[in-house]
A = this chain, B = another copy of it.
């Protein structure tokens, strides 16, 4: 289980477009076999700060995600909307301990 948080600082005035493009990518990502969750959340204190919280079955699934057409389309679509390079952090799951409690996020 691999949890990835991707922090994005969106350019002022582009938040709505960024969120729309990112939701398209999130929905498509949930069809990947190795993606358990792909959430998009927006900082209430700083709406230009958006976080993608991605849960993969394993490291290979995270690598496979980067090879998909929807990832490439998203990457290109949002390239000009970000105020700075996005930053990501990788986490291990402590709780829930098994895969069971992580298998959702599919709307």
- When the two chains form their complex, are residues A22 and B103 in contact, meaning their CB atoms are under 8 A apart? no
- Is A76 an interface residue when CB atoms closer than 8 A count as contact? no
Tell whether, in the assembled complex, residue B107 and residue A42 are in contact, meaning their CB atoms are under 8 Å apart: no
Which of A39, A40, A90 is the most central at the interface, judged by chain B CB atoms within 10 Å of its CB? Answer: A39
B45 touching A89, Cβ below 8 Å:
yes
Tell me how far the C-beta of A38 lies from the nearest C-beta in chain B, rounded to whole angstroms.
Answer: 8
Q: Which of B42, B89, B92 contacts A91 (CB 8 A)?
A: B42
CB-CB under 8 A for A94 and B45, given A104-B104, A105-B104, A107-B101: no
Could you tell me the distance between the alpha carbons of A51 and B96 in the complex, rounded to whole angstroms? 13
Q: Binary interface profile of A, 63-107, with partner B (CB < 8 Å = 1, else 0)?
A: 000000000000000000000000001111111111011111111
The reply to whether A101 and B105 contact each other, CB–CB distance below 8 Å, is yes
Report Cα–Cα, A88/B5, bound state, in Å. 15
